[in-house]
């Protein structure tokens, strides 16, 4: 009863004849036996309780491999077969590698009924199981499975549960691997799953003649050949419930009697959010249409086809995708002809071959498969009318695959397959006619391929096809009218372009930026040098006092004070004695070493000065410092009790940051750099301080120094996302593109949910003309943005309605409630670099028109002017906070929420103007309703940084036109007018900004500049109130100075002195503070203090000539305050 292994049978269920299978030309190997061993069956009595004797039959590729011996079923439902059979796998034979990939071994358990007298033995199929041979193409030589056994229905009317009721233990083995090491490493497995076609034309009806719904696409193979993947027998389902998820994928087989055995083991369609799909119809506006289409009339396949790609085919696949991104997936409907005992006439047969009904095509974008690490495409793809010219234009395919396969498409009723109705088991053995038909198909396909490779294409039935163009177009047009779309998945076993592993990226980053070990503790530092100097001064003072006592004796306190003339004479004699004895020289040499240590340790001076002026300036500074330290040492020596230590500086890092921002705004970059350096000196292991300093260096276009800062931050924490992005940005500026790619790729790998990281990566790849990876990065960023927006829209309607009522009741006035950014912590502790906030998301930009958003481009505060204090701080949690913070815009003009504006918000804070312009260019192209207020505001900031005031003004005028109620725009306009010294307009803009209920992003500088304008216009009362508002918001030396000046002009001397004392406590190097303190001391008749304040005013270099003239006039009038008088 056994059939010889490898015997070929008719393969009507296969889309690809054996002769057309993918060839393995790289290594023509001999046939390899594949051995199948069925060990035993379990739980057979759950299928049929009275079963007693069974056998198992093995089939592969339509051929019966053999039957086991009859075996009794044990009481526990077990049957031990120990049945062994095999078939041969050969690249050029009947069972090539492509068949191994997509065709399983079919095992049928057959019940042997007890024979009655004088009757032949009867057998009945009991259950079926399938064994997937895919592990043989994944490098395994043997494997063991427990294949689920599904019951075979006894009649077509019987409905069975799809769950398996038994199992077969099976082993599969080969003596040698089917794939060589080169094939295994360089080859690939391609699987295509066609799930369903939704929103199908109304002409598709369940009544009437039987129809076969088919789809097909061609996969390139080695050489010039292509082979088709054909999906037949789609099931038309009427409106009803959606398809369940997850649901199993099905084998493309026709000779399976048990419906449950059609399911591929451990392979499911799991679905997923529409926004995560790669195809079309994945936008938020498509969601409702997709949901409705999935529950209406549809055609369901749920079928997976696989094929093995040898190394040559993999190269061809990559080349084809690179040459043409769109691949056609053709769909059609063919009638199932009723069976006829008579022969069909040639004319009728020709007519059947020529007509392809409802011929449509979907275009699948395959480019994502060329992105690193991408192995799968899944999505919805619209179906269009099939037109040769349009298909050729998009896909470079010159002919329809259905026309190549027309001889296979005319199925009769008996040849078609319907789920649940099986072909009789005896039909598995092929007939001679079937073999002849198969050979004819192969010849036809080879002929068509030769024609397709010819320089000019000439179809044999061109005239007849031209007559049918109108008919076909009318059929196919119904797909477009109905909005038909296919849902399918294309999956590879290995990515065509490997993605670098996270470990490799981390290793590459460490090679570029090795972790810096902590500095060894220094025994000698600046503090030690000063202490040594104090000790030397003390010892020399004691020695000089001893000399004095030897010359003049000790004078007791009760003897009274020495008169000035006597004291001068003693001083002259002491100097003579010290010089004549050589002791003065000895004392000087004793101090020399201590002074040298102070120069080296305190002032870090170890090289020669470039100019004499620098040398003299340094000597003056050093002399003042040494004299001050000498006084400290002498006071400690001569005082009866130890002097109290100098109070520690109370300046916090937040204040230093504010002072640095104020200096940047006033373009005092030297002072700003000093404050940044002080912050770094306070804590050299604080990542944020280094990033802030680097951003400041970018403002000055000191790219190399910025690179050092960002790399120092990255050396402290190699997984810090912001540091990686900033290192990548600077590497691009320095044209170190290979390093930049490593930084951006590592950032996306470490934080795949970062919209900014993906967007910046896309901008970088675009700069490199790598359009494929740029498109992939932008698509990933858009997916993340859509997910964030969807998350925000899930807020309960009640809360949204309540908030909307609050906004509506406010009328045109903005809400005073704090925006999302105000809820963010101003600084987060170190170590939270990877904890990005989940609460603050950008969806508030997309609320209903009657609701008012929170604020426009709040994250653009830093770059706007340079911006609000603390606004460019990008701590570990702030990268999402910045990009997720909505903008303060009016409810009538909400800017679109795009990935590029989020990137702009981040880039403006770090002064990366080069990337800002690229992002804004994309933003301009992506906007459908024209540029937004946020776009013009960001563009104005870039022009302001470049001091192109005219273009900045144009942008701000457009921004005000779009959103008149935006306080950020008015603040920016005020800064522009202030820089143009048009103080009248600047005052109007600043007052307009303050009039809004909601504050602008940089209110600190609005208050400072408005207050200075009030002082200039001698409105001292308003100036005082404005500066006090600034002090309340964020106090600094400049805010208290403004309060002090206003109070002095109002002759409120006590309040003025208090305010100036506060300013002096925050920064004792501001010459203007000392100048006004000198005026107050002059007015109060305090001579010594007036002289001291005046001395520091001159020493610190007062630049306000009017104030200096006022001080000197008061000194002349009062007769004191200037020691030179």
> How far is residue 313's CA from residue 225's CA, in Å, rounded to a whole number?
10
Taken in order 340, 341, 344, 345, the sign of the CA dihedral is negative
Residues in the chain: 1125
CA-CA-CA-CA dihedral for 1002, 1004, 1007, 1009, to nearest 10 = -80
Residues 508 and 749: beta-carbon distance below 8 Å = no
In the block, which residue shows the tokens 């199929």?
125
Residues 6+ apart with CB under 8 A from 530: 598, 602, 629
> How far is residue 379's CA from residue 281's CA, in Å, rounded to a whole number?
8
**Residue 558: predicted pLDDT:** 60
**Residue 421: predicted pLDDT:** 31
> How far is residue 620's CA from residue 837's CA, in Å, rounded to a whole number?
52
Environment class of residue 135 by beta-carbon count within 10 Å: exposed (0-12), middle (13-18) or buried (19+)?
A: middle
> How far is residue 291's CA from residue 390's CA, in Å, rounded to a whole number?
30
Residues 723 and 703: beta-carbon distance below 8 Å = no
Helix (H, G, I), strand (E, B) or coil at 592: helix
Instruction: At 764, list the tokens.
Output: 């970088």
Helix (H, G, I), strand (E, B) or coil at 355: coil
**Residue 599: predicted pLDDT:** 85
> How far is residue 910's CA from residue 922's CA, in Å, rounded to a whole number?
19
Residues 6+ apart with CB under 8 A from 938: 857, 860, 863, 901, 904, 905, 908, 916, 920
> How far is residue 435's CA from residue 439's CA, in Å, rounded to a whole number?
6
**Residue 755: predicted pLDDT:** 93
Q: What is the DSSP string of 642-662?
A: PPPPPPPP---HHHHHHHHHH
Quick one: DSSP state of residue 858? G
Helix axes 1020-1034, 1003-1016, angle to 10 degrees: 160
Helix (H, G, I), strand (E, B) or coil at 120: coil
**Residue 795: predicted pLDDT:** 59
> How far is residue 50's CA from residue 44's CA, in Å, rounded to a whole number?
10
Residues 594 and 622: beta-carbon distance below 8 Å = no
Helices (H), 52-211: 97-102, 181-186
Helix (H, G, I), strand (E, B) or coil at 227: strand
**Residue 892: predicted pLDDT:** 33
Q: Which residue, 1010, 911, 509, 1009, is CA-closest to 715?
A: 509
> How far is residue 693's CA from residue 697's CA, in Å, rounded to a whole number?
6
Quick one: DSSP state of residue 109? E
CA atoms within 13 A on the CB side of 379: 22
In the block, which residue shows the tokens 């190997």?
29
- Chain-centroid distance of CA 94 in Å reads 48
Q: Which residue, 370, 306, 362, is CA-closest to 487?
A: 362
Residues 320 and 370: beta-carbon distance below 8 Å = no
Provide the 10 A C-beta neighbour count for residue 622.
16
**Residue 156: predicted pLDDT:** 57
Which phi and psi angles does 968 have, rounded to 5°?
-65, -40
Residues 6+ apart with CB under 8 A from 360: 330, 331, 332, 383, 384, 385, 386, 476, 479, 484
Mean pLDDT by runs of 10 across the 1125 residues of the chain is 37 36 48 92 84 90 90 90 92 82 92 72 88 91 92 66 76 91 89 94 83 88 74 88 89 85 90 85 87 92 91 89 89 76 46 70 91 90 91 84 70 40 34 41 42 35 41 72 93 88 78 67 71 87 84 69 79 85 84 85 81 87 88 78 48 87 91 92 90 94 93 90 94 93 92 93 92 89 85 59 43 34 34 32 30 32 33 34 35 59 92 91 81 90 90 92 91 93 93 89 92 93 93 91 94 93 91 94 90 91 91 89 76
Is the bond preceding residue 246 a cis peptide, omega within 30 degrees?
yes
> How far is residue 222's CA from residue 195's CA, in Å, rounded to a whole number?
28
Q: Which residue, 673, 684, 743, 742, is CA-closest to 712?
A: 684
Q: What is the DSSP string of 26-90?
A: S--PPPEEEEEEEEEEE-GGGT-TT--EEEEEEEETTEEEEEPPPEEPPTTS-EEEEEEEEEEE-
Instruction: At 593, list the tokens.
Output: 């070493």
> How far is residue 297's CA from residue 198's CA, in Å, rounded to a whole number?
7
**Residue 256: predicted pLDDT:** 85
Residues 6+ apart with CB under 8 A from 728: 739, 740, 741, 743, 744, 747, 760, 764
Instruction: At 1097, list the tokens.
Output: 């005013």
Helix axes 967-979, 1003-1016, angle to 10 degrees: 40
> How far is residue 934's CA from residue 893's CA, in Å, rounded to a whole number?
10
Residues 1000 and 970: beta-carbon distance below 8 Å = yes
Q: What is the DSSP string of 66-83?
A: EEPPPEEPPTTS-EEEEE
**Residue 556: predicted pLDDT:** 61
- Chain-centroid distance of CA 446 in Å reads 48
Residues 941 and 909: beta-carbon distance below 8 Å = no
Helix (H, G, I), strand (E, B) or coil at 885: coil
State the Cα angle at 450 between 449 and 451, rounded to 5°. 90
Q: Against a cut of 0.75, is the pTM above it?
A: no
> How far is residue 803's CA from residue 797's CA, in Å, rounded to a whole number?
10
Residues 515 and 715: beta-carbon distance below 8 Å = yes
Q: Which residue, 903, 921, 887, is CA-closest to 785?
A: 903
């Amino acid at each position: 009863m056994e059939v010889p292994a490898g015997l070929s049978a008719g393969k009507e269920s296969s889309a690809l004849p054996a002769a057309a299978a993918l060839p393995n030309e790289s290594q023509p190997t001999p046939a390899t036996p594949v051995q199948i061993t069925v060990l035993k069956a379990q739980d057979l009595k759950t299928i049929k309780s009275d079963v007693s004797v069974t056998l198992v039959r093995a089939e592969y590729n339509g051929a019966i491999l053999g039957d086991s011996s009859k075996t009794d079923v044990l009481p526990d439902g077990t049957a031990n077969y120990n049945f062994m059979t095999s078939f041969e796998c050969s690249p050029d034979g009947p069972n090539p590698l492509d068949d191994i990939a997509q065709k399983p071994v079919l095992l049928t358990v057959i019940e042997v009924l007890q024979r009655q007298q004088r009757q032949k033995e009867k057998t009945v199929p009991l259950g079926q199981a399938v064994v997937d041979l895919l592990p043989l193409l994944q490098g395994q030589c043997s494997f063991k499975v427990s294949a689920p056994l599904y019951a075979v229905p006894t009649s077509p009317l019987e409905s069975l549960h799809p769950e398996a009721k038994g199992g077969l233990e099976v082993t599969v083995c080969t003596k040698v691997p089917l794939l060589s090491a080169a094939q295994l490493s360089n080859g690939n497995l391609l699987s295509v799953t066609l799930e369903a076609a939704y929103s199908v034309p109304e002409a598709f009806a369940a009544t009437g003649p039987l129809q076969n719904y088919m789809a097909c696409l061609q996969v390139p193979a080695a050489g010039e050949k292509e082979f088709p993947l054909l999906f037949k027998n789609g099931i038309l389902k009427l409106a009803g419930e959606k398809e369940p998820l997850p649901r199993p994928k099905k084998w493309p087989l026709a000779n399976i009697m048990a419906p449950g055995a059609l399911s591929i083991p451990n392979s499911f369609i799991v679905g997923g959010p529409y926004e995560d799909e790669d195809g079309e119809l994945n936008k938020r506006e498509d969601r409702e249409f997709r949901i409705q289409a999935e529950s209406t009339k549809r055609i369901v396949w749920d079928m997976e086809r696989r094929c093995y790609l040898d190394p040559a085919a993999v190269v061809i696949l990559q080349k084809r995708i690179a040459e043409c991104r769109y691949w056609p997936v053709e769909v059609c409907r063919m009638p199932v002809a009723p069976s006829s005992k008579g022969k069909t006439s040639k004319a009728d047969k020709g007519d059947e071959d020529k007509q392809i009904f409802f011929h449509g095509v979907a275009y699948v974008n395959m480019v994502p498969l060329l992105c690193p690490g991408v192995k799968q495409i899944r999505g919805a793809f619209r179906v269009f009318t099939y037109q040769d010219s349009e298909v050729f234009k998009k896909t470079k395919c010159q002919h329809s695959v259905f026309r190549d396969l027309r001889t296979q498409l005319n199925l009769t009723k008996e040849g078609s397959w319907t789920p649940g109705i099986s072909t009789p088991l005896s039909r598995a053995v092929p007939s001679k006619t079937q073999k002849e038909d198969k050979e004819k198909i192969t010849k036809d396909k080879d002929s068509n391929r030769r024609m397709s490779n010819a320089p000019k294409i000439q179809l044999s039935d061109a005239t007849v096809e031209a007559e049918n163009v109108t008919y076909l177009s009318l059929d196919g047009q119904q797909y477009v009218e109905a909005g038909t779309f296919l849902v399918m998945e294309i999956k590879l076993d290995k990515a065509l372009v490997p993605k670098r592993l996270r470990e490799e990226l981390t290793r590459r980053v460490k090679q570029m930026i090795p972790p810096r070990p902590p500095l060894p503790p220094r025994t000698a530092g600046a503090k030690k040098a000063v202490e040594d100097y104090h000790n030397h001064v003390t010892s020399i003072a004691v020695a000089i006092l001893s000399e004095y006592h030897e010359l003049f004796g000790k004078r007791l306190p009760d003897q009274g004070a020495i008169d000035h003339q006597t004291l001068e004479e003693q001083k002259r004699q002491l100097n003579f004695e010290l010089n004549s004895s050589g002791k003065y020289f000895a004392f000087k040499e004793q101090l020399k070493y201590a002074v040298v240590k102070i120069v080296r340790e305190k002032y870090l001076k170890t090289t020669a000065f470039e100019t004499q002026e620098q040398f003299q300036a340094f000597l003056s500074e050093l002399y003042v410092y040494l004299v001050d330290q000498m006084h400290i040492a002498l006071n400690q020596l001569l005082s009866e009790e130890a002097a109290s230590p100098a109070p520690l500086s109370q300046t916090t890092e937040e204040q230093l940051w504010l002072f640095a921002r104020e200096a940047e705004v006033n373009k005092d970059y030297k002072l700003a750099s000093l404050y940044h350096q002080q912050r770094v000196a306070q804590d050299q292991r604080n990542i944020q301080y280094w990033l802030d300093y680097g951003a400041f260096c970018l403002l000055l276009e000191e790219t190399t120094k910025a690179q050092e800062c960002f790399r120092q931050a990255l050396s402290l924490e190699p997984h810090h996302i912001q540091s990686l992005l900033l290192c990548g940005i600077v590497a691009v500026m320095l044209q170190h593109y290979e390093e930049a790619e490593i930084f951006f790729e590592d950032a996306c790998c470490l934080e795949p949910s970062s919209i900014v990281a993906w967007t910046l990566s896309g901008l970088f790849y675009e700069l490199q003309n790598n359009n494929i990876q740029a498109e992939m990065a932008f698509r990933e960023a858009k997916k993340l943005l859509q997910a964030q927006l969807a998350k925000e829209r899930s807020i309960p309607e009640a809360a949204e309605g309540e908030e909307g009522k609050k906004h509506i009741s406010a009328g045109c006035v903005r809400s005073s409630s704090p925006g999302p950014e105000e809820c963010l912590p101003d600084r987060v502790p170190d170590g939270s670099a990877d904890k990005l906030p989940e609460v603050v998301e950008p969806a508030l930009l997309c609320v209903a028109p009657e609701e008012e958003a929170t604020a426009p481009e709040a994250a653009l505060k830093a770059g706007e002017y340079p911006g609000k204090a603390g606004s460019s701080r990008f701590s570990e949690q702030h990268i999402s906070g910045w990009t997720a913070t909505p903008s303060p815009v009016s409810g009538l003009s909400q800017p679109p929420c795009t990935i590029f504006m989020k990137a702009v918000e981040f880039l403006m804070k770090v002064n990366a103007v080069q990337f800002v312009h690229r992002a804004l260019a994309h933003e301009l192209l992506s906007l459908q309703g024209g540029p937004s207020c946020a776009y013009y505001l960001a563009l104005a900031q870039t022009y302001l940084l470049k001091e192109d005031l005219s273009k900045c003004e144009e942008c701000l005028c457009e921004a005000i036109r779009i959103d008149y109620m935006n306080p950020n725009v008015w603040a920016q306009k005020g800064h522009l007018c202030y820089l143009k010294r048009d103080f009248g307009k600047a005052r109007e803009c600043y007052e307009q900004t303050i009039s809004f209920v909601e504050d602008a992003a940089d209110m600190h500088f609005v208050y400072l500049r408005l207050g200075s304008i009030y002082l200039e216009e001698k409105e001292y009362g308003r100036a005082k109130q404005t500066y006090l508002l600034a002090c309340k918001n964020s106090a600094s030396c400049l805010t208290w100075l403004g309060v002090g000046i206003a109070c002095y002009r109002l002759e409120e001397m006590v309040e003025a002195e208090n305010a100036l004392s506060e300013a002096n406590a925050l920064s004792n190097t501001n010459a203007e503070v000392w100048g006004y303190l000198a005026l107050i001391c002059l007015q109060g008749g305090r001579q010594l203090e007036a002289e001291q304040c005046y001395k520091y005013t001159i020493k610190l270099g007062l630049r306000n000539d009017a104030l200096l003239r006022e001080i000197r006039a008061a000194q002349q009038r009062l007769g004191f305050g200037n020691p030179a008088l």
